[in-house]
Amino acid sequence: TTQQPRLVKSTLTKLEKISPELEAEIRQQFTAERYGSTLLKVGWHAKQWNDNFFRVVDVARRVDSGVGSFGVGRFYVLLSGTDNDTDNAENGVILDVKFEPPPAGEAVLNKLDRAWYRSTFRHEAMRAVQAQRALTSYTDPYTGWVFIHGAAYAVRQRSPYKASFDLSSLKNYAEFAEYVSYIAAVTATSHTRGTVAHGAGQFKEVISSALGPPYARATWGVAVATVAAKYREQVMMDYECFKDFVQANYTSDNTNPVEVVD
């Protein structure tokens, strides 16, 4: 009998075992009527979930990962199946299942805007998935959502081709400036694609109308840079406070550490 692949659970992979009860609940979410019903029906490599083809092989908790989402509930789900028509089905597919908390901006919405927001997105995972689909040309066909303990989790494929740019290769200001210009262009393109205008031309018209003459646009650019610099300063201050908190409550000589609720 061919042995099924398994997720390696170790400090190196940042994966941990979970309880049998939790694993059973997660497995129950991956069916045609649940997770399968949230997948794209039309699109690039759109998937039609088939319970006879896709099957959950293993589940693990993902820890010590993420940037803005660091510390939120997160799991890896290994499926038997394939992510394209030519790959070997025995290779499997790894799904990243992540809890989606409310966005920071929701806290400052007025009553009417908050009502609109909640009627537009039934839950935060739906918001995250719809945003990804709107901002990308070739959306991951595995984007969708599931519910674990009643909470909404966004699902996407953990691509083996994903990689980060090696910032250590940038040696001077000119190289950093060139890198930032490319990132800015990619980000602007994504947001243009995702705007309600649904067209780059319309988006430019809206921006031109909002900012007015060239001198006003220059002022806007300076304002953005000022906000970015102040935001960086605030983030650094927040990080120092966080380090002080950890030092005070989680050091090895502390006999009464703060309990962390999972």
Domain count, the chain: 2
Domain boundary among 130, 157, 184: 157
Q: Which of 120-124, 187-191, 241-245 has the lowest mean pLDDT?
A: 187-191
Within a domain: 211:
yes
Close Cβ partners of 57 (under 8 Å, ≥ 6 residues apart): 4, 5, 6, 78, 79, 80, 92
DSSP 51: T
pLDDT, mean over the chain: 84
Q: What angle do CA 210, 216, 221 make, to 5 degrees?
A: 95
What pLDDT is recorded for position 215?
Answer: 82
Contacts of 55 (CB under 8 A, 6+ apart): 79, 80, 81
The beta-strand segments (E) located in 17-157 are 55-62, 74-80, 93-99, 144-148, 151-157
Q: Is the pLDDT of residue 196 over 70?
A: no
Residue 71 in this model has a pLDDT that exceeds 70: yes
Q: What is the torsional sign of CA 74, 80, 86, 88?
A: positive
Check whether residue 142 and residue 27 sit in a common domain: yes
Global confidence as pTM: 0.72
Confidence tier at 19 by pLDDT (50, 70, 90): very high
Alpha helices in 53-123 (DSSP H): 111-120
Both 174 and 144 in one domain: the answer is no
Shared-domain flag, residues 46 and 151: yes
Q: Establish if 23 belongs to a structural domain.
A: yes
| Same structural domain, 50 and 119 | yes
The pLDDT assigned to 21 comes to 97
Residue 46: which pLDDT band, with cuts at 50, 70 and 90?
A: confident
Structural domain includes residue 262: no
DSSP state of 5: P
Q: What is the pLDDT of residue 92?
A: 82
Residue 2 lies in a domain: no
pLDDT confidence bin for 145, thresholds 50/70/90: very high
Burial environment of residue 125 by CB neighbours within 10 A (0 to 12, 13 to 18, 19 or more): buried
Band (pLDDT 50/70/90 cuts) for residue 10 is very high
Tell me: do 145 and 184 sit in the same domain: no
Same-domain check for residues 69 and 191: no
**Other beta carbons less than 10 A from residue 156's beta carbon:** 19
Q: Is residue 49 part of a domain?
A: yes
Q: Would you place residue 62 in the very low, low, confident or very high pLDDT band (cuts 50, 70, 90)?
A: very high
Task: Out of 133, 157, 181, pick the residue that ends a domain.
Answer: 157
Would you say how long the chain is, in residues? 262
Q: What is the pLDDT of residues 80-112, one digit of tens each?
A: 875 554 445 556 899 999 999 998 888 899 999
- Tell me the residue range of the domain where 151 lies: 15-157
Which residue type occupies 154? Answer: A
